[in-house]
């Protein structure tokens, strides 16, 4: 069921006004010198190109802005409209400060944007993995001082350095006195009900972490906590193991989850079987030779720009506007009366610290997550179960070219306000800091130009594929309603008539495949058609899957080089996947 939204013109004008002008530099990414990270692990280096022969795609800045936020008139951009309350006469409801009142589709009603092939927890597992692979220290989109891309401050390996940092020898403040177990912070509860979850250790509210970004929202913050709890469980079960031995055990389990649970949900089991034939069969590692094509040439220690700046950013489309942390949070009596659909839930980001899951702060201790609402641990993700309301597993959103509205106003790049939150515009939306871009779609599009990525069509041709036509590259949502309302990318500017940004192309490709499938389901109900999951298409799927596998192949300490007889422990129902990891960590 759709929730009322405010007028398209007002929304588009507000979204377009939120963007700031940025300049772009013509720079070429090349690997840079390595630096030591200690503990015998791989060194952090730089970036490389999977398709160095392809020219950089060029787009007019004004076209990118229009694509990100619309034109203020008829074209809706990649930043979706927020859902707000209306009065019976259609007038927008406002609070005592004159701000629009954000709401959401009720939990016991069908939200057409939900992806019933993917539980919501995988969105934040994906973010956690991203923070394990790359950190680009450049915080602007203008010319780089050196004329070269910066060093990657993470290792280009799945080694959990975002959690372990540089190990207990160099960063002992991340560890307990035994040098084996990781420190945890204050205990978290579920609206006052006891929980086994813990916050990060903090100093004056700031998290003490191997990577500060694992505190950038409440969900990734507690996802980090899941892996800390799993490591400490492994340490308890192996009392004589050294830290390096414990890290090895945990890392192998983590990589197993990536290859057998995480990636198949986005690219499909058939793609994984073709690239890694035989891997994981019978629940053990086995010795396999990856069947890579273009990714074979990725230099060791580097990470592909086409992956990190475009293809892997598909995860931004998965993010829901609101989340339930636990079933005990029900909201105040006033909220239950005035805004029952949102009561007890929180927006992923908001101007108000109370209303949003904003990070980089000590969030309320009663915001402990019930992971049974994020992974299929004791109940299934099913569109026919929406009547379960607060108890149901939350779905991610579909992979499409529409990003949920809170992502148009990222708190990290918004202006500080009072102790209760951020500075707001007249509608209550966060205001961008001077000189910053807070709109995530525009940031992604701008990053692709700065780092001179090729177009989506050029990459498709390089893969031997026929590129999608502009009429199939749509801006909008993967819903039946969205199919009728979306516009071709070429309507957003002249510079898109011959090429599309690679990040946009990856999203539009997944959306197009979904559209083709549901159009063939003429006998199915609207609910069944809207519930069809989305998957990455041939360009996006290959870029993501081959990049992951190449990074593992280039790391001599990865699971590909473990004992072929190795098999994961801590099985649940015969499998070791993310639900099993959460259970083993004692958090479900």
Residue recorded with tokens 């890694």: 276
pLDDT of residue 286: 78
Q: Which of 549, 56, 469 is nearest to 263 (CA)?
A: 549
Residue segments in the chain with a per-residue pLDDT below the cut of 50:
1-44, 146-148
Q: Is residue 559 part of a domain?
A: yes
Domain extent at residue 421: 8-584
Tell me the angle at which helices 218-237 and 121-133 cross, rounded to the nearest 10 degrees.
Answer: 80
Alpha carbons 464 and 483: distance in angstroms, whole number:
28
Q: Is residue 71 part of a domain?
A: yes
CATH code, domain carrying 553: 1.10.640
The pairing of beta strand 303-304 with beta strand 47-48: parallel
Q: Is residue 162 part of a domain?
A: yes
pLDDT of residue 143: 57
pLDDT of residue 2: 42
DSSP 275-291: HSTTTTGGGS-------
H runs (alpha helix) in 203-313: 218-237, 243-257, 263-267, 269-275, 305-308
pLDDT of residue 287: 78
Alpha carbons 500 and 400: distance in angstroms, whole number:
15
Question: What does the pLDDT look like over 210-261, one tens digit per residue?
Answer: 999 999 999 999 999 999 999 999 999 999 999 999 999 999 999 999 999 9
Alpha carbons 262 and 270: distance in angstroms, whole number:
14
CB 407 within 8 A of CB 442: no
* Max CA pair span of the chain: 70
pLDDT of residue 18: 41
Prediction pTM value? 0.92
pLDDT of residue 288: 82
pLDDT of residue 144: 53
Alpha carbons 197 and 239: distance in angstroms, whole number:
22
Question: What does the pLDDT look like over 134-187, one tens digit per residue?
Answer: 998 777 676 555 444 678 889 999 999 999 999 999 999 999 999 999 999 999
Q: Where are the beta strands (DSSP E) in 142-243?
A: 187-190, 193-198, 202-203, 206-207
- Token pair of 18 as six digits: 């939120």
pLDDT of residue 72: 87
Number of domains in the chain: 1
Alpha carbons 121 and 81: distance in angstroms, whole number:
24
Q: Is residue 37 part of a domain?
A: yes
Q: Is residue 143 part of a domain?
A: yes
CB 479 within 8 A of CB 113: yes
pLDDT of residue 28: 26
Alpha carbons 320 and 75: distance in angstroms, whole number:
22
577 Cα distance to chain centroid: 19
């Amino acid at each position: 069921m759709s929730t009322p939204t405010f007028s398209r013109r007002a929304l588009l004008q507000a979204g377009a006004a939120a963007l700031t002008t940025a300049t772009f530099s013509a720079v070429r990414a090349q690997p840079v010198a390595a630096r030591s990270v200690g503990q015998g692990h791989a060194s952090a280096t730089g970036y490389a190109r999977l398709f160095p022969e392809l020219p950089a795609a060029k787009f007019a800045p004004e076209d990118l802005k229009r694509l990100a936020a619309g034109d203020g008139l008829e074209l809706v951009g990649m930043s979706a409209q927020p859902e707000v309350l209306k009065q019976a006469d259609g007038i927008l409801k406002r609070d005592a400060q004159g701000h629009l009142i954000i709401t959401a589709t009720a939990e016991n009603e069908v939200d057409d944007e939900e992806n019933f092939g993917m539980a919501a927890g995988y969105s934040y597992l994906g973010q956690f993995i991203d923070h394990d692979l790359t950190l680009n220290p450049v915080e602007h989109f203008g010319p780089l001082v050196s004329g070269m891309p910066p060093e990657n401050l993470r290792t280009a390996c799945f080694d959990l350095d975002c959690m372990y940092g540089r190990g207990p020898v160099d960063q002992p403040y991340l560890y307990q006195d035994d040098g084996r177990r990781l420190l945890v912070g204050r205990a978290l509860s579920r609206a006052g009900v006891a929980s086994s979850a813990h916050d990060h250790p903090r100093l004056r509210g700031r998290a003490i972490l191997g990577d500060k970004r694992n505190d950038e929202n409440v969900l990734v913050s507690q996802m980090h906590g899941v892996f800390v709890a799993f490591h400490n469980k492994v340490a308890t079960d192996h009392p004589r193991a050294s830290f390096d031995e414990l890290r090895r055990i945990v890392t192998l389990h983590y990589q197993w989850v990536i290859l057998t649970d995480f990636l198949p949900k986005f690219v499909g089991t058939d793609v994984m079987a073709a690239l890694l034939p035989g891997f994981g069969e019978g629940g053990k590692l086995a010795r396999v030779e990856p069947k890579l094509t273009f990714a074979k040439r990725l230099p060791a220690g580097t990470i592909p720009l086409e992956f990190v700046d475009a293809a892997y950013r598909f995860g931004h489309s998965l993010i829901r506007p609101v989340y339930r942390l636990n079933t005990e949070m029900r909201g105040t009596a006033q909220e239950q009366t005035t805004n029952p659909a949102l009561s007890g839930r929180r927006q992923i980001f908001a101007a108000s610290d109370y209303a949003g899951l904003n990070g980089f702060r000590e969030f309320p201790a009663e915001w402990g997550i019930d992971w049974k609402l994020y992974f299929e641990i004791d109940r299934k993700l099913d569109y026919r179960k929406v009547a379960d309301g607060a108890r149901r597993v939350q779905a991610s959103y579909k992979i499409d070219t529409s990003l949920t509205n809170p992502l148009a106003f990222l708190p990290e790049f918004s202006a500080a306000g009072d102790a209760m939150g951020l500075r707001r515009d007249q509608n209550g939306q966060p205001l961008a800091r001077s000189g910053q871009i807070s709109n995530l779609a525009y940031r992604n599009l701008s990053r692709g130009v700065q780092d001179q990525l090729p177009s989506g069509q050029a990459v498709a041709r390089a893969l031997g594929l026929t590129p999608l036509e502009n009429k199939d590259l749509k801006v909008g949502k993967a819903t039946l309603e969205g199919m009728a309302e979306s516009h071709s990318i070429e309507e957003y500017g002249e510079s898109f008539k011959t090429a599309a940004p690679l990040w946009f192309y990856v999203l539009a490709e997944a959306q197009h495949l979904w559209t083709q499938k549901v159009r063939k389901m003429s006998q199915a109900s609207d609910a069944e058609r809207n519930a069809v999951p989305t998957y990455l298409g041939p360009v996006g799927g290959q870029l993501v899957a081959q990049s992951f596998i190449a990074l593992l192949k280039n790391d001599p300490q990865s699971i590909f080089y473990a004992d072929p007889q190795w098999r994961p422990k801590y099985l649940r129902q015969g499998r070791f996947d993310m639900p099993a990891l959460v259970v083993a960590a004692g958090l479900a």
